[in-house]
Amino acid sequence: MAKNKKRREVKTRSDLFGFLQNQMEATYDDLLKKKKLEYEGNLVKTYLFEVDEPEDMGDSKGEKRYEEYLKYLFSVEKKDRPELSIYRTEELGFYEVVLNDRGNEFVIYIDTATNPRFWMVFSLSKSEGLDSWFNAILKNKPDFDFVWLWPDFLESFQKRGVARGFGLDYDYRVFEKSEDVDTTLYLKMQLWGGSDTADLYELLSSSEKFSSKVVLSKIRFKEFREDGILDRFALEDIKYNGKFTTRGTDFNTHLSIVESLRKSYERIILQIEEKYSLKWVSGTGEGYNLEGYALHFEPAEGQIIPIDIFYKQVFNGTEPFRLMGFVRQKSETKIVSDVVDLHTGGELTFELYPDLITLYLGEGTCGNSIARFFTNIQHYFDKSFSVYADNGDRLFTL
């Protein structure tokens, strides 16, 4: 897209949603006529991001300094210095952001108002460029994180509509360097079709040999508008990092899907932060009581955690875990480590055993970081983990 192309003027969310509705219908009509479409080319895309705004930013959404914060957050450092422009709209907390990168223009619309922590970002720009942009932000901006949708969450959420396909993504190769092993280290596939794709997923998931490697990374389902009119629907793709891609004829149905998922996800994250983080509170008299509970990540019976290599690969400060560990105690059967979450700077303590991982959350720990850890150990190590707290609660259940 040419850099000097006239910018579409979007003043409100209603303006944007009307435009996206028209674009969604036109694109779907084009798809039906041509029977094919450039990969996610002009499809409506919505991203959910978790943003840890500085405390003093909450009341400045209509001010210049908030625009400067957005410019910091969404800028990327490259040799050719991509140009980033921030445009304020008529609605508080709703912005248009344009990135010009070597003649390619990427336009996003950011809603920071409806939820100050879990932002919605809308776009029609090409997926490849958007994904590259957001991944670069993730690596360099500690304020910014994806939402992390673990496989059971995706499987459960797909049931709100009619199944139309799924994607799998499992990669154990980071933990096993030898190629001379008699097991599958890497499994990636996508299958789109009819409602019978749910039967195939169930078949793969129940396989004795493959069940722990059938790790859901993407779902597709068809959802009709609430009034039941059959020609008004959204055909929705949802990826485990909070990316939504939609086709169909009804943008409001798409928006309802995104809002519903955000609400469910936020409820679980807040529960982790409020109920399980360890904190000292005033007790009776002059004493203090320790509140909160340790969390335990338990693999399936017989699954052994190679704690040395697991520690080296997970707690080295790199993507996707973003956790930096500092060993406090180590033996052949136990590693105790202080860990810093590179997203928020939160402090955690991990204990690694061959059959269990125990986590102690410091006060103020970001629950999104726990979802990140849980989701990615399934994609890169083993799907079979269950999570429970010292008080008997089961976590990450819907």
The tens digit of pLDDT for each residue in 106-136 reads 999 999 999 999 999 999 999 999 999 999 9
Could you give the CA distance from residue 27 to residue 42 in angstroms, rounded to a whole number?
A: 7
pLDDT of 230 over the 80 cut: yes
Strand spans (E) along 124-254 = 144-146, 162-171, 186-192, 216-224, 233-239, 243-248
Question: Mean per-residue pLDDT for 84-90?
Answer: 93
pLDDT at position 58 is 64
pLDDT the model gives residue 3: 45
Query: Is residue 113 within 8 Å of 93, Cβ to Cβ?
Result: yes
Over residues 148-172, the pLDDT tens digits come to 999 999 999 999 999 999 999 999 9
Share of the chain above pLDDT 70, in %: 91
> What distance lies between CA 65 and its chain's CA centroid?
27
Asked whether 173 and 185 are in contact (CB, 8 A), the reply is: yes
Confidence of residue 57 (pLDDT cuts 50, 70, 90): confident
Mean pLDDT over the full length of the chain: 90
Report field, pTM of the whole predicted structure over 0.95: no
Domain range list for the chain: 13-146, 151-240+257-274, 278-389
d(CA 312, CA 265): 29
pLDDT of residue 177: 64
Mean pLDDT calculated for residue range 197-225: 93
1 vs 29 pLDDT, higher one: 29
Q: What is the mean pLDDT of residues 330-346?
A: 95
Specify the CATH architecture of the domain 278-389. 2-Layer Sandwich (3.30)
Q: In 3-state terms, what secondary structure has residue 83?
A: strand
Report helix, strand or coil for 32: helix
Using CA atoms, how far residue 290 sits from 15, 303, 354, in Å, is 50, 33, 28
Q: What is the mean pLDDT of residues 260-275?
A: 96
* DSSP-assigned letters across all residues of 260-310: HHHHHHHHHHHHIIIIISBEEEE-STT-EEEE---EEEEPPTT----HHHH
